[in-house]
Amino acid sequence: SEYAPFVQQLQRKDVSAHPIVWTAREVEWLSTSPEGFEAVNDHRAMAEKRVGGLLQRARSAPKGAVPKELLADETLLAEKLRWALVLVEAVGIAMEDPESGASVAAFCPLMADVRQTFRLKPPTTFQ
């Protein structure tokens, strides 16, 4: 695909800090904050519902649309779909086309890199 270099660059991103991919133990750390715990669990439940819908679409996709090795391993496919959802949330933007009013979506990974790395002052540390 002509997008392969772009996707390869995206695959280098560490998404482990996103609640969608947290382990149950990591989520449990929020149990002392009922509101935070509920918000993260609601978000994760919504993500799992979306992953379920995407899994159904993958199963019924035309032959060759989804790599065979992913179709053969539903756990791996679900993991890849979660990764994709994290990227959409982290670097995706939605805008309205002023002429047609249609919704337009795009990936802006460089903006996410700037957001995560640029600081006016050094972060506070507790050393």
Predicted confidence at residue 124, as pLDDT, reads 62
- Of how many residues is the chain composed? 127
pLDDT grade for 4, boundaries at 50, 70 and 90: confident
The residue that leads in pLDDT, 71 or 108, is 71
Task: Please state the rounded mean pLDDT for residues 101-109.
Answer: 82
Those residues with Cβ within 8 angstroms of residue 111's Cβ, 6 or more apart along the chain or in another chain: 91, 93
The residue that leads in pLDDT, 123 or 53, is 53
β-pairing verdict for 92-96 and 103-107: antiparallel
Under 8 Å between Cβ of 121 and 60: no
Predicted confidence at residue 111, as pLDDT, reads 60
Task: Please state the rounded mean pLDDT for residues 60-74.
Answer: 93
Task: Please state the rounded mean pLDDT for residues 4-12.
Answer: 80
